[in-house]
Amino acid sequence: MATKLTATVSSIVIFIISFGLSIFLYSKTPDAFPWIAPWVIQLVRASAMLIALFLLFERLFKMELHTKIILGMLLGAAAGILFKNNIMELKPVGTAFIRLIQMIVVPLVFASLLAGTASLGDIGKMKRIGTKTLLYYLASTAFAITVGLVLANIFHPGSGMSPEVQAKLMENYQGVAGQKLSAAQQTETSPVQTFLNIIPQNPFEALTGASMLQIIFFSIVTGIALTLIPKEKAQPVIAFFDGLFEAMIKIVVQVIKIAPYGVFALIADAVGNFGLEILASLLKYTLVTTAGLLLVIFLYPFVQSIFSGLNPG
């Protein structure tokens, strides 16, 4: 009891110190103290900021993960407004978070689809479910796309940004966008070719190139094939990918715990770089998205009634 109290008190004390220190140091430029190397200042203030966040999120209050993430966004925006370019040095925390998520995408999708399809078992049943699901999926997708397009054309999320911010965004991302554009132009493909390209010519190339549609196709086809061969032959393959899938999920669960810090760093960097305006655009985008989601949820029963006989389940 006493030790717990001591722990809480020391948490509060360390929080106040690290929070104050980071606020103080971030309000100066790194070369404000000529007798200390700038990178030392940057390291100290970044560490202090992250320690303060850690104590706030994990020690001082009991919060749900989503509360932490939203708080991380708000605090990140505040830090971006207050410290401008200075706070951009925290971006690597956000980048690390994003890279960790990216890392597990390919093995997660591959292992989950392969093991998932393979353990569905009865192919005949799957066909029946599959056809119904596909039709239902297509109908609801068409409906959702309609709602999305209508809302996007009424509210124009992304507009209302000042020309300066637009120019700055252009400058920052035109390299990336230009590359993608030129790559897309070079491989100008017909719609039929686009469909054919879903069939990988080499699944290992698809895995290495992270060609998601090809990976999805190959893993589902292999998963189905595994349901068609003798169980004792298929079992080791399924067990392997099932275990890999569980491991990847476990990594996701762990990585998602650092999401509040990653989101804090990313928002702070974006606001520090582009100002609050970019958040306003993001907010508008978020509101329209939410409105769309609500519309889809409320109108779905009507769509469902049209496909009443097609409900899977």
Return residues touching its own copies (CB under 8 A). Answer: 92, 95-96, 99-100, 102-103, 105-107, 192-193, 195-196, 199-205, 207-210, 218, 221-222, 225-226, 228-230, 233-240, 242-244, 246-248, 250-251, 254
89: closest CA among 131, 31, 26, 145? 26
**CA 199, CA 86: separation in Å to the nearest integer?**
48
Spatial neighbors of 69 by CB under 8 A, at least 6 apart, are 259, 260, 263
Token pair 């124009």 is at which residue? 156
Smallest distance from its own copies to CB 269, Å: 13
Report the SS3 class of residue 27. Answer: coil
Nearer to its own copies, 82 or 251 (CB): 251
Smallest distance from its own copies to CB 286, Å: 26
Smallest distance from its own copies to CB 232, Å: 9
Smallest distance from its own copies to CB 213, Å: 13
Nearer to its own copies, 228 or 297 (CB): 228
**CA 269, CA 72: separation in Å to the nearest integer?**
12
The amino acid that residue 142 corresponds to is: A
> Within a 10 A sphere around the Cβ of 28, how many other Cβ atoms?
13
Smallest distance from its own copies to CB 228, Å: 5
**CA 297, CA 5: separation in Å to the nearest integer?**
47
Integer-rounded Cα Rg, in Å, for the chain is 25
Smallest distance from its own copies to CB 110, Å: 9
Tokens of 184: 């897309």
Secondary structure in 3-state letters for 56-94? HHHHHCCCCHHHHHHHHHHHHHHHHHHHHHHHHHHHHHH
Nearer to its own copies, 251 or 282 (CB): 251
Nearer to its own copies, 145 or 210 (CB): 210
Nearer to its own copies, 25 or 114 (CB): 114
Nearer to its own copies, 176 or 192 (CB): 192
